[in-house]
Amino acid sequence: MIGVFDSGVGGMSILRVLRKVLPRENFIYLADQAHVPYGPRPLLEVRHFSEQITRALLAQGVDLIVVACNTASAAALHYLRATFPDTPFVGMEPAVKPAAEHTHSGVVGVLATPATFQGKLYASVVERFAQGVTILQDTCAGLVEQIEAGALDAPATRAILERALSPMLAQNIDTIVLGCTHYPFVRPLIEEIAGPQVRVIDPAPAIARQTAHLLGQYHLGETGAPTGGIRYVTTGGAASFGAAVRRLMGESTPEILTWHWQEDDASLSP
């Protein structure tokens, strides 16, 4: 079984592709909606949440974990690999490399959270792959909250994106990197604002390929007929999460579970 987690609904932009590429696998998807958004929080706090979520997922018997959150990957990926050396992890990093390879104008826009921009992972990706390319960044303040609320096409959502993208477009970007897993859900709006000459990069297919590769390498893949099921878990409210799963994953009757953070030791128990 594969564990997938994010601060909220964003990781479902990865899960929907994982499900297509790996139809035999069983998934457990955890949305830490008790703490969303992660982006404005200190990296150490996000690392702590990520560790507790990892422990809870491992207790459920997952063999591999996809950290379907750029912020949690920035805060915790190295730490998780060192702390749980027997578990393969797939993590996110903003897709600066393919963007730098494909840009013609030499100007690339990256949309990600404040914590992702602060992390060493992002700095190292820019240093390694974006030499000679101008990178323009924006944190799209408030956008994660709009997506959590299901306001994918609301005037306020459009206003956030127009404010972020207008200065980038004025500086001739031809590529936009979606550096937060929530943002693929507003891709139609981003494409409408940016126009057809701007290419938008969603890392989900590359993450799914990497997951398939690791499953093979560790001999963890399910064989036999496609039976893959998904259990959806939230640390927040089950009703609103269920509505989001129906809307974003097209599931008619998803199984929704709630897990609780224990106030005394800040651990997570199913």
The residues assigned a catalytic role are: 69, 180
From CA 102, how far away is CA 228, in angstroms rounded?
Answer: 35
Closer Cβ to ligand DGL, 144 or 194, answer by number: 144
Closer Cβ to ligand DGL, 124 or 227, answer by number: 124
Minimum separation from the CB atom of position 124 to ligand DGL (A)? 17
Closer Cβ to ligand DGL, 12 or 169, answer by number: 12
From CA 2, how far away is CA 67, in angstroms rounded?
Answer: 11
Minimum separation from the CB atom of position 168 to ligand DGL (A)? 19
Minimum separation from the CB atom of position 24 to ligand DGL (A)? 26
Amino acid of residue 144? V
Closer Cβ to ligand DGL, 36 or 135, answer by number: 36
| Cβ atoms of 95 and 112 closer than 8 Å | no
Residues found near ligand DGL in the complex (CB under 6 A): 6-8, 10, 36-39, 69-71, 113, 116, 144, 180-182
| Cβ atoms of 51 and 26 closer than 8 Å | no
Minimum separation from the CB atom of position 10 to ligand DGL (A)? 3
| Cβ atoms of 256 and 242 closer than 8 Å | yes
Structural Rg of the chain based on CA atoms: 18
Distances (CA, A) of 94 to 81, 166, 180, 184, 203: 19, 21, 8, 13, 8
From CA 4, how far away is CA 106, in angstroms rounded?
Answer: 34
